């Protein structure tokens, strides 16, 4: 979420009212928010009333996180552009999205009274989203830590949200992103402000979030510290390997007390270009399968577009600029198609088993596949020995150890107890000396190794030999790693046409 700790530390001082600023229409393609990785968030469900009848139910949200590409966080408001906002809302709608997440910083729009210019910008954004067919998830009090100022906080809510009580565009309202649950002042502030927020926006679902580092325990602590009626929906933010999301979501469901669970923010950065973009597409494929299996709505991508160099205040790390579904030139990354299909209810299971979209990346991720034990030899994409298509993954001059051997691998979640995984691949070996085989390695939720199943070792040369392994996940297995192994190979071994059934 947009309250990254470095930004919070820099902006934790008292909020200063902001004066009128000009509206700029010379912005580049749109982008969205930064987040605390692997964050868990809470939102509330709706009550059916006359004013909420037109609101999109939480379970039906197809949400995309948003800031403009050239102006993130506070800059979105101080350099607001109606034209850019309209274009970006249409882009979200083109993905099949029906909601956009909008984040407001008191330091940007004025506190405790929102300036006239900023209020006009805020209302224009809501109207522009509505015109594009989008609901809004509104996040308030971003970059905020003045918890002692309850009166000022209430005044700011009244100022910003005046006239919005019956606006069906507002599908969710989040009091603050990543409230520090260990901070008694923050919890006290939230206990006062959440009921007040319900009075200002009656019938609009409310939410409050906790830092991702606190995990499910953070959610449980927050729920225990707040009135039960204050929060109705648990919202998970996830940025780890997609294979681990199922565990986090199950934990969130376990502590949710019957509340619905959604993934309100998730993403993977692509600073390494084509390899990163294929890895990002894989991330959304696996996450889409996970949310569908657990009965959850599709995850909300972080974020619509990459960010321009000067778009993020306080200049964070390189990764933060590359989470978008669109590049800075406005073209879509491969992940956009995966998200579009997910929003339409389709699970995309294409894990690039033919290696056609993989890219050599200096020993790092190839795309959907990642080299393993590169110290003993790295798999490389090659085009001179292929079974079908234009590319395969090849090994040569490899070694190995008792604890690790060179391979290319993917991690996948175990979504049901006793789930069966089958992997079939083909290997061609030239002057072989190695022990090529395919393996399924099982791991528990704490990362503990639970064992593996392997195919027979390849024994042919100068021919594409099929290898198959099939096994049922053992008790306690949370994830499985698929490995195409090639240890102790002084000749050459190439893999192609891998199929993973699960």
HEC readout, 81-120: CHHHHHHHHHHHHHCCCCEEEEECCHHHHCCCCCCHHHHH
Whether the CB-CB separation of 413 and 286 falls below 8 Å is answered with yes
Task: Report yes or no: 107 and 18 within 8 Å, Cβ to Cβ.
Answer: yes
Domains and CATH numbers, the chain: 5-343 (3.20.20.80), 370-501 (2.60.120.260)
Question: What gap in Å lies between CA 43 and CA 252, rounded to an integer?
Answer: 12
Distance CA 109, CA 387 (A): 59
Interacting residues of 378 by C-beta distance below 8 A, sequence separation 6+? 363, 371, 395, 406
Q: Which residues contact 402 (CB under 8 A, 6 or more apart)?
A: none
pLDDT for 440: 98
> Pairing mode, if any, of strands 135-139 and 99-103?
parallel
What DSSP string describes 351-415? --TT-TT----TTS--SSSEEE-GGG---EEESSS-SSSS-EEEEES----SS---EEEEEEE--
The pLDDT of residue 442 is: 98
Contacts of 105 (CB under 8 A, 6+ apart): 11, 73, 74, 77, 142, 143, 144
Residue 215 has a pLDDT of 66
| Burial class of residue 463, CB neighbours in 10 A (0-12, 13-18, 19+) | exposed
Residue among 381, 351, 384 nearest 363 (CA): 381
Instruction: Specify the DSSP class assigned to residue 128.
Output: H
C-alpha–C-alpha distance, residues 137 and 355, integer Å: 38
User: So what's the pLDDT on residue 177?
Assistant: 86
List the one residue out of 227, 139, 142, 222 whose CA is nearest residue 182: 222
Residue listed under structure tokens 């830092």: 211
**Other CB atoms closer than 10 Å to residue 238's CB: what's the count?**
27
Q: What is the pLDDT of residues 220-230, one digit of tens each?
A: 788 789 888 88
Query: Which pLDDT score is estimated for 45?
Result: 34
Q: For CA atoms 75, 76, 82, 85, give the dihedral sign.
A: positive
Please state, in angstroms and rounded to a whole number, the distance separating the CA atoms of residues 14 and 336: 39
Residue 403's Cβ-side half-sphere holds a number of Cα atoms within 13 Å equal to 2
What is the reported pLDDT for 223?
79
Rounded to an integer, what distance in angstroms lies between the CA atom of residue 123 and that of residue 356? 47
Q: For tokens 């059916």, what's the residue?
A: 48
pLDDT number for residue 43: 34
Torsion of CA 405, 406, 408, 410, to 10 degrees: 30
Cis peptide, bond prior to residue 112, ω within 30 of zero: yes
Count Cα neighbours of 108 within 13 Å in the Cβ-side half-sphere. 23
Q: Which residue has 């509330």 as its token pair? A: 44
pLDDT at 20: 34
pLDDT digits (tens, 9 = 90+) for 235-262: 888 889 999 999 999 988 888 888 889 8
Sign, Cα dihedral of 484, 488, 490, 491: negative
Q: Which residues of the chain have pLDDT under 50?
A: 1-53
CA distance 334 to 308: 20
pLDDT, tens digit, for every residue of 336-363?
999 999 999 998 889 999 999 999 999 9
Show the tokens assigned to 243. Answer: 């294979």
Give residue 471's pLDDT: 98
Residue 403: its pLDDT value, please?
92
- Owner of token pair 């051997």: 405
């Amino acid at each position: 979420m947009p309250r990254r700790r470095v930004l919070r530390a820099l902006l934790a001082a008292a909020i200063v009212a902001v004066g009128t600023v000009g509206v700029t229409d010379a912005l580049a393609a749109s982008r969205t928010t930064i987040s605390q990785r692997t964050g868990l968030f809470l939102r509330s469900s709706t009550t059916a009333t006359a004013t909420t009848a037109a609101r999109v139910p939480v379970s039906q949200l197809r949400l995309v996180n948003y800031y403009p590409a050239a102006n993130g966080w506070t800059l979105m408001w101080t350099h607001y552009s109606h034209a850019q906002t309209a274009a970006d809302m249409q882009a979200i709608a083109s993905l099949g999205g029906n909601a956009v997440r909008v984040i407001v910083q008191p330091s940007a729009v004025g506190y405790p009274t929102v300036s006239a210019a900023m209020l006009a910008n805020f209302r224009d954004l809501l109207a522009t989203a509505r015109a594009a067919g989008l609901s809004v998830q509104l996040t308030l009090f971003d970059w905020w830590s003045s918890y002692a100022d309850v009166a000022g906080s209430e005044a700011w809510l009244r100022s910003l949200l005046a006239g919005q009580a019956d606006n069906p565009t507002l599908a969710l309202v989040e009091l603050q992103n990543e409230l520090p649950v260990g901070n008694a002042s923050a919890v006290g502030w939230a206990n006062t402000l959440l009921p007040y927020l319900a009075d200002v926006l009656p019938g609009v679902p409310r939410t409050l979030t906790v830092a991702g580092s606190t995990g499910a325990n953070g959610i449980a602590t927050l729920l225990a510290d707040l009135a039960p009626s204050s929060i109705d929906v648990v919202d998970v933010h996830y940025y780890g390997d997609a294979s681990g999301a199922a565990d986090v979501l199950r934990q969130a469901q376990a502590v949710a007390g019957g509340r619905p669970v959604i993934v309100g923010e998730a993403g993977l950065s692509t600073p390494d270009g084509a390899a990163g973009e294929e890895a990002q597409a894989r991330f959304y494929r696996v996450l889409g399968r996970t949310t569908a299996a657990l009965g959850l709505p599709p995850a909300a991508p972080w974020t619509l577009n990459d960010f321009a160099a000067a778009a993020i205040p306080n200049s964070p790390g390189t990764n933060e600029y590359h989470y978008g579904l669109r590049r800075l030139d406005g073209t879509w990354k491969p992940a956009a198609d995966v998200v579009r299909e997910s929003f339409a209810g389709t699970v995309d299971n294409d894990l690039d088993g033919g290696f056609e979209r993989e890219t050599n990346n200096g020993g790092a991720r190839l795309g959907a596949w990642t080299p393993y034990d590169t110290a003993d030899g790295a798999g490389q994409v090659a085009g001179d020995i292929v079974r079908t298509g234009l590319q395969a993954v090849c090994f040569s001059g490899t070694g190995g150890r008792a604890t690790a051997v060179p391979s290319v691998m993917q991690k996948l979640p175990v979504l049901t107890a006793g789930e069966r995984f089958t992997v079939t691949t083909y290997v061609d070996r030239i002057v072989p000396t190695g022990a090529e085989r395919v393996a399924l390695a099982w791991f528990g939720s704490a990362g503990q190794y639970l064992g593996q199943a392997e195919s027979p070792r390849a024994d042919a040369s100068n021919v594409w030999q099929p290898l198959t392994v099939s096994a049922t996940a053992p008790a306690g297995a949370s994830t499985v790693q698929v490995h195409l192994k090639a240890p102790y190979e002084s000749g050459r071994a190439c893999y192609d046409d891998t199929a993973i059934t699960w």
